[in-house]
Structure 1
Amino acid sequence: MPHARLGPIAVHFPERLETNAFLQEQFPGWDISLIADKTGIEQRYIAAEGETASDLAVAACEKLFAEQDIDPQSIDFLLYCTQTPDYPLPTTGCLIQDRLGLPTHCGALDFNLGCSGFVYGLALAEGLIHSGVARRVLLVTSETYSKYIDPTDRSLRTIFGDAGAATLIDAAEQRSIWGFQFGTDGSGADTLMVADGGARAAEDALKPRHRKRWPSRLYMDGPSLINFTVESIPRLVEDILAGNGLTRDSIDLFLMHQATRKMLEQLQLRMQVDDQRLPIELADGGNTVSSTIPILIQRLRARNRISADSTNMLVGFGVGWSWAGCLWRDVFSDTDHQAG
């Protein structure tokens, strides 16, 4: 039976660049240098008014098709991960299918999973391909969290950026993605949330875990998220290793969701790995939610940091609480990397 191969990736950022220097100018009372030291973020891209996550998704897909000479008619299935859809319904993936000119026999599925979404998407693609349902899957992630953030919100505006990423998943004989493990703890739902806009009445809606300090629609309890991450993710890593007869030294790169520098440094400390093996790459784009891992892979590929014979681990975690991890060997050739 065929397996899924994680192929070329294309990334699209909005045109508007918001630097820390700009924020300092707008809000002289903010200690931007202290914030940047904790987050590791120096700038982020922000979607324009009227620009949606699907616009970023379509741009990333069109870039992928053009760079890799991919025929849109060759796509069997579209998997689209976002928490900022254009509408409650119809499914945004259907809109993207039409805009990209994908065939009408192509499946299209939205899933709302945030920071663990890319790894979940890989598992879905592997299942579709291994079962013979599809041979070429387009996995797309895009977010515009900025739409949920009030301009005066110091805690969130300095962290989240908007972006889209398109990843081609092809059928291949050689196993490239395996060892999936997942985790869910819905008791943490009240630590990162947007409680309005759905069918639940306001008086019955989920309430923030602690006092809401900012007027943003998006609420985040950073300390609780860090505690959840540093407890759950090292256990996930060990479970994946044990389930596949590996040790921590067997892993060349731990490619984690790029949340903040502080969170990733705590994981480095807890797991006793340095930034050469658990890289931090969010200074110039911020936390782009479901797109951080494909952005990270694309950048490391461009610098020839990922070799075909290396064994790597992909780990996503966050909103829900939801987390997921898998093992990955990059059987996509170095020549193809440079073409992408």
Structure 2
Amino acid sequence: MSMKAYIAGVSKYLPTNTLTNEELVLDYPEWSVEKIFSKTGISSRHIAEGNETVSDMAVSACESLFDSYNVDKSNIDFILLCTQSPDHLLPTTACIVQHKLGLSTTCGALDFNLGCSGYVYGLSLAKGLIETGQAKNIILITSEQYSKYIADGDKSVRTLFGDAAAATLISARESATDLLGPFLFGTDGSGAENLIVPHGGSRFPITSESSVEQSDSSGNRRAPKNLYMNGGEIFNFTLKSVPESVNAILEKAEVKKNDLDYIVFHQANKFMLEQLRKMCKFEKERFLTSYQNYGNTVSSTIPLGIADAVDNKVFKSGDKILVLGFGVGYSWAGTIITWS
């Protein structure tokens, strides 16, 4: 037997502040509570307080993980932090988290900037570090605060996105078979401008014009420093890439669709997920959803769904779980988790 990477625990952190549909209609009187819910399937989302950062949320998720699974912090030898809303342009937020958690200075730490596919990418990175003998216990953190980029007057994204963090412990154990994998990745950067914060990087640094809001054809107001999403183009990309990716993963893993016990997709919104579920021909019982009280939390949606399933004792040892993330980039990634 050789050492294989496996998921040893998952915990989540949600900001205490929430934004409900009842609160949103006060800002958007042309919409009703029922209309927001029917379009998105989301009833509320957690929103970070003004002084709460991605590292704060990451630390809270990790502390929950340590407490829930009785983790000895001295055994953690690597942090992988996925975020698109870091504390600073530099330094690396993972380094800040290492210090706040009091982890050993022999611990590796890195950030990676991916959105909806990021959790699966992180599982792959952790598997590589563990199965090449570079680490034994890795914390994969997803921590996202898209709310910091969203204009109050832009209901096209404000109704969808929430903030959340999750921490996953990935450890080494002896096994004759893979417990994570195989993996599938995809990238199409031609869609980069369809989900973007235009200003704030080196291409378009922040200037006085970055805060000037304009209205689009649907009456949504946003500035170049704010998040923009072309929902129609994102939807079209998803309908094309996701069913193809599911088939490719199953073929690569030599697994049949009926051999899967559960499916956890990136939780974009109700309409998109229902379309994908039907196209992929997954029964509702196996197709887990968690967006209703969280919204789209970007890279945190998949681990939030897994954490909820663990809390509700849904998974049993040996279950095969297909996970697939897709969106901003365009980027997509999928794998099969064997629960243990």
TM-score, normalised to structure 1's length? 0.92
- Give, in angstroms, the shift of residue 211 of structure 1: 7.0
Looking at structure 2, the residues matched to 62 and 128 of structure 1 have their Cα atoms a distance apart, in angstroms, of: 23
* Range moving further from structure 2, 121-130 or 65-74: 65-74
Specify the alignment match of 1:121 in structure 2.
122
Specify the alignment match of 1:37 in structure 2.
38
Q: Report whether the alignment pairs 1:316 with 2:337.
A: no
Looking at structure 2, the residues matched to 37 and 78 of structure 1 have their Cα atoms a distance apart, in angstroms, of: 39
Residue-by-residue CA offset, 1:91-135 (whole Å, 9 max, x unaligned): 111111111011101000100001100000000000000000000
Q: Report whether the alignment pairs 1:138 with 2:147.
A: no
Specify the alignment match of 2:18 in structure 1.
17
- Give, in angstroms, the shift of residue 90 of structure 1: 0.5
Mapping 1:40-59, distance limit 5 Å: 40-59=41-60
Q: Report whether the alignment pairs 1:279 with 2:280.
A: no
- Give, in angstroms, the shift of residue 230 of structure 1: 1.2
Residue-by-residue CA offset, 1:122-180 (whole Å, 9 max, x unaligned): 00000000000000000000001000011121111111000111110010113311110
Looking at structure 2, the residues matched to 132 and 90 of structure 1 have their Cα atoms a distance apart, in angstroms, of: 27
Looking at structure 2, the residues matched to 27 and 237 of structure 1 have their Cα atoms a distance apart, in angstroms, of: 38
Specify the alignment match of 2:63 in structure 1.
62
Q: Report whether the alignment pairs 1:215 with 2:215.
A: no
* Range moving further from structure 2, 127-136 or 241-250: 241-250
- Retained in 1: the 8 A contact 2:21–2:36? no
Q: Which amino acid aligns with 2:254?
A: G
- Retained in 2: the 8 A contact 1:18–1:46? yes
Pick aligned residue for 1:187 from 144, 165, 190: 190
- Retained in 2: the 8 A contact 1:184–1:323? yes
Specify the alignment match of 1:4 in structure 2.
5
- Retained in 2: the 8 A contact 1:45–1:162? yes
Looking at structure 2, the residues matched to 275 and 214 of structure 1 have their Cα atoms a distance apart, in angstroms, of: 37
Q: Report whether the alignment pairs 1:80 with 2:81.
A: yes
Specify the alignment match of 1:292 in structure 2.
301
CA RMSD, Structure 1 to Structure 2 (Å): 1.6
Q: Report whether the alignment pairs 1:27 with 2:28.
A: yes
Q: Structure 1 vs Structure 2: percent identity of aligned residues?
A: 46
Specify the alignment match of 2:180 in structure 1.
177
Looking at structure 2, the residues matched to 268 and 123 of structure 1 have their Cα atoms a distance apart, in angstroms, of: 24
Looking at structure 1, the residues matched to 238 and 145 of structure 2 have their Cα atoms a distance apart, in angstroms, of: 23
Specify the alignment match of 2:96 in structure 1.
95
Looking at structure 2, the residues matched to 145 and 239 of structure 1 have their Cα atoms a distance apart, in angstroms, of: 31
Flag structure 2 segments of 5+ consecutive residues without an equivalent: 207-215
Q: Which amino acid aligns with 1:158?
A: T
Specify the alignment match of 1:329 in structure 2.
338
Looking at structure 1, the residues matched to 302 and 25 of structure 2 have their Cα atoms a distance apart, in angstroms, of: 29
SS in 2 for 1:114: coil
- Retained in 2: the 8 A contact 1:309–1:329? yes
Q: Which amino acid aligns with 1:215?
A: R
Looking at structure 2, the residues matched to 260 and 251 of structure 1 have their Cα atoms a distance apart, in angstroms, of: 23
- Give, in angstroms, the shift of residue 202 of structure 1: 5.9
* Range moving further from structure 2, 18-27 or 124-133: 18-27
Residue-by-residue CA offset, 1:3-26 (whole Å, 9 max, x unaligned): 111121111111111111122234
Looking at structure 1, the residues matched to 268 and 17 of structure 2 have their Cα atoms a distance apart, in angstroms, of: 21
- Do the aligned partners of residues 243 and 135 (structure 1) sit closer, same or farther apart at CA in structure 2, a change above 3 Å counting? same
- Retained in 1: the 8 A contact 2:5–2:127? yes
Mapping 1:141-152, distance limit 5 Å: 141-152=142-153
- Do the aligned partners of residues 186 and 211 (structure 1) sit closer, same or farther apart at CA in structure 2, a change above 3 Å counting? farther
Residue-by-residue CA offset, 1:223-268 (whole Å, 9 max, x unaligned): 1111111110111110111112222112121110101011100101
TM-score, normalised to structure 2's length? 0.92
- Give, in angstroms, the shift of residue 295 of structure 1: 0.6
- Retained in 2: the 8 A contact 1:30–1:154? no
Specify the alignment match of 1:250 in structure 2.
259
- Retained in 1: the 8 A contact 2:42–2:295? yes
Flag structure 1 segments of 5+ consecutive residues without an equivalent: 204-209, 332-340
* Range moving further from structure 2, 106-115 or 305-314: 305-314
Q: Report whether the alignment pairs 1:240 with 2:249.
A: yes
- Retained in 1: the 8 A contact 2:262–2:320? yes
SS in 2 for 1:8: strand
Looking at structure 2, the residues matched to 320 and 211 of structure 1 have their Cα atoms a distance apart, in angstroms, of: 24
- Give, in angstroms, the shift of residue 74 of structure 1: 1.1
- Give, in angstroms, the shift of residue 274 of structure 1: 2.4
Specify the alignment match of 1:334 in structure 2.
none
Specify the alignment match of 1:338 in structure 2.
none
Looking at structure 2, the residues matched to 54 and 211 of structure 1 have their Cα atoms a distance apart, in angstroms, of: 37
Q: Report whether the alignment pairs 1:225 with 2:228.
A: no
SS in 1 for 2:84: coil
Looking at structure 1, the residues matched to 150 and 284 of structure 2 have their Cα atoms a distance apart, in angstroms, of: 30
- Retained in 2: the 8 A contact 1:4–1:176? yes
* Segments ≥4 residues shifted beyond 4 Å: 210-213
